[in-house]
Structure 1
């Protein structure tokens, strides 16, 4: 039996001109991940992948600095900027809670449109993420660990399909994912199964963030 660790990227720069940069706290979260995985009792990752967004790649480089990491755009987040194009370009005037409410409204509309959407549709997003996950299961052979650095959206989508067989839990799970959290999937003869979701016990309370 193998396993896949799905890691949400560390905290990015919410409210800044360039969101796709780790914050100071985000860098610390990634370092905490590296130290956590250095514990002798924890299994070592033999294969790792990351999306191509900077916040994902930089989290991976810090947390697994000694391991070659494959870049795979299928693990990128949905196009948040496109979905929220009706919002002001900067987020300085929005609290994280206000932003999440607006994002959820946009996501609900996006999901309802199915394949009929400008840019990447929800169906397209779902297909690429699940294809990436299927490929990852082949890397999680008996006794091995694969680690993937992604974002809340792809991780929530995978977890929803593992729990319910569809995307019906996507919005609820996407809402609660914590930066630098670990979701673990075990892969055996009966296929992949969700073992843990959104585990953040390695993070001190002062470094638990949702955005």
Structure 2
């Protein structure tokens, strides 16, 4: 059996002009994971990362911790299939259409746009975003310029097959990606519904670890959303 570890990127820059960069706290989360693995004398055979800056920077900071401890850190391989779903397309293309067609969604969007204060904005964004993703998943308003839920799930499956087919027995593989991908991989392992995949996604903490044991023909969840390197609750974030 081999072990696949999926790492969600550290906290990104919510409500900033450029969301796709780690916050100072996100960088700290990644460094702490690197230190934790260095203390555990962890060694990985393969490292993969998604194309986003927040994913690649997380991998870089974790790798620095292991390298500084004299441990091997393979050169990360960037895979476009490890990207998150099309967040920009959903917010800029699908959301305006939903505002026009669904009064309940329009109210959620208004609540978010009018909210003041970091915690209120995080709460109201999450409520709006959960509704947005459910509409996207249902494919009620297909848009050829937005990746569909089905296409997104196919991406997740491709990566899992790649890892299963290219890795030998007893290998350790680590992947730096985003919450949606991790929710999709967990869905595949547990054979749960699409709606449950979204519920799993929303619970995944920044810089958390979700692990799977696998062979060429088997893919099983071993642990979900663990944060042994973040002992202080002040370091726990979801966005």
TM over 0.5: yes
**In structure 2, distance between residues paired with 1:154 and 1:13:** 19
1:5-43 CA distance string (max 9 Å, x none): 000000000011110010000010010010011124x54
Match of 2:184 among 157, 168, 188: 157
Verify: 1:75 aligned to 2:82, yes or no.
yes
TM value normalised by structure 2 = 0.81
| Preserved CA contact (<8 Å) 2:115 2:124 | no
| Preserved CA contact (<8 Å) 1:47 1:139 | no
In 2 relative to 1, CA 189–31 (structure 1 residues): closer, same or farther, beyond 3 Å?
same
1:85-135 CA distance string (max 9 Å, x none): 2369x8985621211111111111111007933421111111112101211
Structure 1 vs Structure 2 CA RMSD? 2.1
**In structure 2, distance between residues paired with 1:2 and 1:115:** 40
Verify: 1:206 aligned to 2:234, yes or no.
yes
- Identify the residue that residue 27 of structure 2 maps to in structure 1: 27
- Identify the residue that residue 57 of structure 1 maps to in structure 2: 56
Q: Which region of structure 1 is more displaced relative to structure 2, 167-176 or 6-15? A: 167-176
In 2 relative to 1, CA 8–134 (structure 1 residues): closer, same or farther, beyond 3 Å?
same
Segments of structure 2 that go 5 or more residues without pairing to the other structure are: 65-72, 97-108
* Structure with greater helix percent: 2
- Identify the residue that residue 105 of structure 1 maps to in structure 2: 131
Moved over 6 A (4+): none
Instruction: Tell me how far 1:141 sits from its aligned partner.
Output: 2.8
Instruction: Tell me how far 1:139 sits from its aligned partner.
Output: 4.3
| Preserved CA contact (<8 Å) 1:161 1:167 | no
Kindly name which structure, 1 or 2, has the bigger radius of gyration based on alpha carbons: 2
| Preserved CA contact (<8 Å) 2:11 2:23 | yes
* SS at structure 1 position matched to 2:194: coil
Verify: 1:46 aligned to 2:42, yes or no.
no
1:28-68 CA distance string (max 9 Å, x none): 0010010011124x541110100000000000011123430
* SS at structure 1 position matched to 2:39: coil
Segments of structure 1 that go 5 or more residues without pairing to the other structure are: none
1:139-173 CA distance string (max 9 Å, x none): 44322100000000000011012112553421110
Aligned residues: 209
**In structure 2, distance between residues paired with 1:37 and 1:2:** 18
In 2 relative to 1, CA 114–67 (structure 1 residues): closer, same or farther, beyond 3 Å?
farther
TM value normalised by structure 1 = 0.91
**In structure 2, distance between residues paired with 1:161 and 1:62:** 29
**In structure 2, distance between residues paired with 1:83 and 1:122:** 11
Q: How does 1:105-184 map to 2 (within 5 A)?
A: 105-113=131-139, 116-118=142-144, 119-164=146-191, 166-184=193-211
